[in-house]
Amino acid sequence: MDNLKKKSFEVPTLTRLALTLPLTQAVSHASLKASCILKLRDHPLMTRKSGFKNWPPAWTTRRLDESTKPTDEIGILEMPLRPQRFTNRLFLFIVHGGFRYIASMAFDDPAFRDELYRLLKSNIGRSIKEIGDIELSYSLSASLTKTQTEGKETVHVS
């Protein structure tokens, strides 16, 4: 068991994701990677502890007509904004149908927000749908440690 305490793997996730897996033997790099491919839209930290989902973003505009508020994964990312005053928020600016829209996203984990901001910044000019499709296994890596919890072993990615 000592040889399983700490290993580094390329894991398809952003920081601080904990996965609960029944581990009966050493976890190989290939099996872990195959079982954990996540698209950005499906990442567990995109959902707040309250259950509120950040994806797809809720778009709003300065126009007064409520019926013109688009929904879903629409538009082209113009700019993500990470305000210093609000350490848990990101703002996304998009263009869709000739109009600008904005969405506010709040996160329980400020480190996750920072990782997501860097990812969004590198994808300016892409569609929100394409960004939601990003497989995190190809963009970030993390270290893996194993602990024992109530008969199950938990794999922590940090």
- Full set of structural domains in the chain with CATH: 1-38+140-158 (no CATH), 49-134 (2.30.29)
The candidate with the shortest Cα–Cα distance to 29, out of 15, 3, 9, is 9
Quote the pLDDT of residue 37: 77
Nearest Cα residue to 82 out of 117, 46, 116, 124: 117
- What are the residues whose beta carbons fall under 8 Å from the beta carbon of 118, sequence distance 6 or more? none
User: pLDDT of 5-48, one tens digit each?
Assistant: 443 333 334 433 433 333 333 344 444 444 467 899 999 999 99
Q: What predicted TM-score, i.e. pTM, was given to this entire model?
A: 0.64
In sequence order, what are the residues at sequence separation of 6 or more whose Cβ sits closer than 8 angstroms to the Cβ of residue 29? 9, 10
Q: Is 80 exceeded by the pLDDT of residue 57?
A: yes
User: Residues near 49 by Cβ (< 8 Å), separated by ≥ 6?
Assistant: 108
Asked which of 58-72, 83-97, 129-143 is least confident by mean pLDDT, the reply is 129-143
At 149, is the pLDDT very low, low, confident or very high (cuts 50, 70, 90)? very low
**What is the CA angle 67-71-74, rounded to 5?**
120
Interval 88-134: pLDDT, tens: 999 999 999 889 999 999 999 999 999 999 999 999 999 999 999 99
Residue 147 confidence (pLDDT): 35
